[in-house]
Structures are given as C-alpha cells and as structure tokens.
Structure 1
C-alpha cells in the first residue's frame, strides 16, 4: 500500500465498486475539482494497493473526499481489495482523525465499513442524499406510455407550444469552450434567485476544465439564429447520460424550454441505446414526474 498524489496512476483503470456512477470517480473529473476547489493547506491522499484505489483529502485532522458533495454526485473506491486498503490506509493517519465518506451508492458502503471494522473502528452509516435515475426503455413510445397520460400530454403540449413560437426544435451539441459554452454561462448568470450567483469565476474555470474532457459536452436547444434557449451540461458514455447542470433563457420561461430540452434528450438517449438517463442529485419534482426513481446514497463517518 502506498499514499501518493498521482492522477496518472494505473489504479484508476480498475473498475469502480459501485456501477453506473458516470464520470465522478475518474481522474479527469477529480483533478479538475481538486484544481478548482481545494484549499492550499489540503493534501491530496490517494491510497493505492495492488488491487484497489481510494481518493481522499487530508487537512486539519480530517480525512474526507475530494470536492464538495454539492459538486460530486457519486463516490466510489476502485478495485476488489477496497476493504484491505481502507484497513491499511487509516492506520497511516494520526489517532483522532475524523473520517467521512459521502455520496456513496449502496454497493460502495460495505467494503469501506468492512475495512474500518477490521481496524477496530465502529463507523456510523446514514442515508445522505439521493439521485434521480430514469431507466430508459427500448423505444420513446414505450417511455411515453410509462409516464402516464397527464405527463405524456404535457410533454407533447410544451413541445408544440415551443415550436409554434420559436420554430422547429433544433439541438446542437458542443464540446470545448466557445460560443455555446459562453451562452450557457450567461444564461446561468441571468437565472433568478440563488442560481444566478452560482457561476462565479471559479465555477466558470471548473466547468471550463470539464468541457475539455472526453465525454463532457453541452446539449443546447437553439433558435433559428443560433441563440440559446436552454442547455444541459452533461456527461455521456455507453452506460448512460448524466445531466450535471442546466440553464435556460429566462426571457423564454413562458415556453418551458428546459422541459422541451429534457424531453428531446430523453428521446435522443433512447435512440442511442443508453440504459439510463441520470438526473443526478436533487429531489426536484419534475424528475420524478418524468419517470425517475430515487437511488439512495449514504454517508459514513468515524474517528480513528
């Protein structure tokens, strides 16, 4: 077992203990959030053995995950030997160190608890948050049938209303920083309430790093002149579509461009053969009206 800070370690090629967690345990995502959000006094703490890898940070007597839980939707260690690695790793930190793991799917909880228990630590495990996951059927018609008459009618009605005012639905997918990225940031900043202050310079830098990584892109609903009506900042791979953040033009609120975009993206995901459309964290009602089910996440806390 070794403790290091190398994002290029071959250990990141090991499978995550919890399946279907998108980009959140990848070295690219974790390095981006580390560059953006870690305090100067925080040490990167990557514990690795021949058959497991766990990414944490250490500061002020606390061993915690990298990145704030509001920005990291899933956590999972990697490899088959996580329990043994946890057992060894926690013995390298001072007695009295506070340990915390958050945003853990059920599959990731057992090996961590096992490793802590081997060290004589009795951790507390509690429900922490949920993600909203939509299992995609083989066809869009099957999806529409599954959500019921009322929601099916609303999706169709909102799309007709949007197209009647703005013209035929047009989706654009953009990677890298550029015009679409800039429009996404501007729409975010024009959002009402607390959301309007989220996209500060630090967050713009973070999202700017993510959009350079493989699998990340912006799906934008645009008008005839290319103006952005709504946008989804997302990650997509063979397993599914992970909707990380979104924004829409508040001047078009009456046309429900965000809901129109969601319907189009769900249809697109089905056409591409994706297994899931993951709305990630947040218990907003619309996610469940569109057919999602809750995936429970857990927090583990302990003291060495």
Structure 2
C-alpha cells in the first residue's frame, strides 16, 4: 500500500498536472481547485510543512503538518469546504489507506478534517475508515452552510417561499425600481483590477468584514477572484442605481450551481435593501439555468428569508 502513495512537498507543475486532471470536470467544487490551495499556502501556510499525499494518481490529500498535527490546506476563514481531491467517485479503500498512512508513515498524532458536510459521503467514509483502523474520531458542530434549491423558474422560486417572505421580496423589488435606473453589471476579465477595489470598498462597509479583510486576506481574494474570472470559473457583479455601484457579489460558477463567496453593499442605500436585492437579482438571472445557489458558511438571517435550506458543517478530529 505504501508504494502506491507518494508525497509532494511543493505546489509543483507535476502536482498541478495530477490535481487539474482530477478537478477538470465543470461541476468540480471551487474549493478543490489547485490555484486556491496554492494561493493559500503561499500566503498563509509556508511556516508549516506541506505534504500532499498522492494515492495512485486517483486521490490527493493536501495536508499541512505542524509537529505531529495535520490538517488539510486552506483555513476555515477562507475555505468554506474541505475534501479529498478526486475525480468522480470517492474510493473508500483509498480514503482508508491515506488516513492510515498519516499515522503509520507520517507519524501524525492528531489529524483534523475541518468544514466537512455532515450529509456527505466524505464524512461517512472518514468515520468508517477510522473505525476499521481502530482510530478514535470525534466530531463537533462547526457552522451552517445554507443553500437554495433553484431548479425551476423565478416565479416558481417565489411561490415556494412562505407568504411573508414572498411578499417582502416583491415589495422590496418594487421599491428598488422606484430608485431609478437599475442595472446588474458583470465584470469582464479586463475590468477586474479596477472594479475589485470597489468590491472591497463595499464589502468593508460591514464592520466585521472590515476587520476580517486584512492585507493578506485581501491578497488571497484578489488572486482567486482574478483567476476565477480569467478561467470563466467565477463572476463579479454589481447592482447599479443610476450607474452608481451600491451592492456587489462574487461567486464561483460551476455547471449546475453557484457558490456565493462574498458580498457587500453601500449602507447609505439600505432603505432600498440593496444587499438583499443584489442576491435576489442573481437568483432571478440564474433561475432555471442552474439547480443550486450555495450561500456557503454562515447563518445570517437574510439567507433564510430568501428561502435557503440549512446543512451542517463539522470538524472531525482523529487520533489524540
């Protein structure tokens, strides 16, 4: 088994070739992409040892090691999900073998899996693998990750809301239209460098986001937004009132879903609920085109007012 597992200690071109092959599908999760993990490690992880386990070219397990502790690359503050890197189906035997390798060959004492979806196959296989290997595993609730089912038209979406929320959205849409000329602007790759500064300005009108967005996190977000749009894997858009940008959203785009990574709005236009309406316009524009909008980590009230369904994120701790 050991001979089938090799280790990469840097984000080399050889690793990129293996990694990109596993995540080439257009519905692959944005948080499994090579460039996200590479950008994160270069900015946040270089004080720790990188060990990307490669099982037969079919499964990667990207880890950072700190003494005898290990966890997957990508911090909870910037990665909403963590998982193994694989192509289509997660192989239970390979999952078991890479976990065993961590303890037997890397001599890890504690292995953490953060931001694991409770209902996922990954969660099930980690638990079953640890049980078979005789490893102690504990789990704790980490956060909620609400999502919106969007298989049908926008009218169908509205009708599936409860009466109170449906009335609220219709009333706010009508009020927004009274503010003047309303436009959703989608940034092209040539416009990103200018408009991303407006994105940050709107985002940091929220005091919590202003504290969160230090220089290093801003560099990471610039990297991933620019790369995603360059590779047609993301969209940065703005809600304009009379040509003035008053709200913004960046989301990752997959074949069948959007993942809303961050957003912001001009608080001086709060009377028009521009932050909420920016999300509603995105729902309207993508209804019937994609099947899901994932609003990612966080239990903010607005997510449930627009009809989101909740799912749990867990942290799993294996070993000591």
Q: TM-score, normalised by structure 2?
A: 0.85
Moved more, 40-49 or 85-94: 85-94
TM-score between the two structures when normalised by the length of structure 1 = 0.89
| Alignment CA distance shift 1:118-1:47 (3 Å) | farther
Partner SS for 1:211: helix
Establish whether residue 168 from structure 1 lines up as the match of residue 181 from structure 2. yes
1:121 alignment partner, one of 135, 146, 154? 135
Give the whole-Å Cα distance in 1 for the aligned partners of 2:20 and 2:170. Answer: 43
| Structure 2 unmatched runs, 5+ | none
Is 1:179 the equivalent of 2:197?
Answer: no
Note closer, same or farther for the CA distance 1:195–1:212 as it changes in structure 2 (3 Å cut). Answer: closer
Q: Contact 2:19–2:34 (CA<8 Å) still a contact in 1?
A: no
SS of residue in 2 equivalent to 1:58 = strand
- Relative distance call for 1:158 and 1:278 in structure 2 (3 A) is same
- Once the two structures are TM-superposed, the CA of residue 144 in structure 1 deviates from its matched residue by 0.4
Deviation per CA, 1:100-124: give whole Å up to 9, x if none: 1011123211222333344431211
Please report how far the alpha carbon of residue 175 of structure 1 lies from its aligned counterpart in structure 2 after TM superposition.
4.6
Match of 2:113 among 83, 101, 104: 101
Superposition deviation, residue 185 in structure 1: 0.9
Indicate whether 1:151 and 2:165 are aligned. yes
Aligned in 2, Cα 1:244/1:37: closer, same or farther, shift over 3 Å?
same
* Residue 287 (str. 1) matches residue 303 (str. 2): yes
Q: Which residue of the partner structure matches residue 14 of structure 1? A: 22
- 8 Å CA contact 2:28, 2:254 repeated in 1: no
Question: What is the CA distance between 1:266 and its match in structure 2?
Answer: 0.6
Of the candidates 41, 52, 75, which is equivalent to residue 46 of structure 1? 52
Distance 1:179 1:163 in 2: 27
Query: Which stretch of structure 1 is more off in the superposition, 253-262 or 7-16?
Result: 7-16
- In structure 2, C-alpha distance between the alignment counterparts of 1:175 and 1:107, rounded to whole Å: 36
1:20-74 deviation digits (Å, cap 9, x = unpaired):
7730111121112222222x42111211111321111111331012122121111
Is the Cα–Cα contact under 8 Å of residues 184 and 228 in structure 1 kept in the other structure? no
Query: In 1, are the aligned partners of 2:23 and 2:33 still within 8 Å (CA)?
Result: no
**Aligned-pair RMSD on alpha carbons?**
2.1
Contact 2:149 2:292 in 1 (8 A): yes
Whether the 8 Å contact between 1:232 and 1:246 is mirrored in structure 2 is yes
Structure 1 residue 181, shift from structure 2 partner: 0.8
Q: Structure 1 CA distance, aligned partners of 2:16 and 2:241?
A: 41
Question: Which structure 1 residue ranges, 5 or more long, are not aligned?
Answer: none
1:230–1:119 distance in 2 versus 1, CA, 3 Å: same
